[in-house]
Amino acid sequence: MRPVPAAPPASFTLYARGYCHLCDDMLAALQALETPSQPFAITVVDVDADPALGARFDELVPVLYGALDQPELCHYFLDRVAVLAYLEGQARNPVGRPEIR
């Protein structure tokens, strides 16, 4: 029997600004949720580096997404419940693996 490949870690995208203390706070709160048994990747995107992103998010930052094709998980402050639910969903059905019922 071949071993099942490891599931990729969950990932988050945080739309932020460099001078935004709320953005720093959300990043720190998100990083505090990571554990050795549940690692995840965080991509921080500076909305001011792209005029389209700056126009889209304006003063809404920070904005946190899990899957970019899904609605945001939270903005301004980390929604711990939403993030943990997203991580639980990723653990149950990682990308690329069919859901077994």
Per residue in 38-79, pLDDT (tens digit) is 899 999 999 999 999 999 999 999 999 999 999 999 999 999
pLDDT at residue 16, as a whole number = 97
- The 10 Å Cβ neighbour count of residue 67 is 15
Cα dist from 89 to 18, 19, 67, whole Å: 30, 32, 11
| 6-41 per-position pLDDT tens digit | 556 799 999 999 999 999 999 999 999 999 988 999
Q: What is the DSSP letter of 17?
A: -
pLDDT at residue 94, as a whole number = 57
Rounded to the nearest integer, the mean pLDDT of the chain is 87
Q: How many residues does the chain have?
A: 101
Question: Any idea where the domains of the chain sit in the sequence?
Answer: 10-92
Q: Tell me the fold of 10-92.
A: Glutaredoxin (3.40.30)
- The 10 Å Cβ neighbour count of residue 36 is 5
Q: What percent of the chain has pLDDT over 70?
A: 83
Residue that has been written with the tokens 């690692």 in this structure = 39
Does the predicted model carry a pTM greater than 0.95? Answer: no
Specify whether the CB–CB gap between 3 and 49 falls below 8 A: no
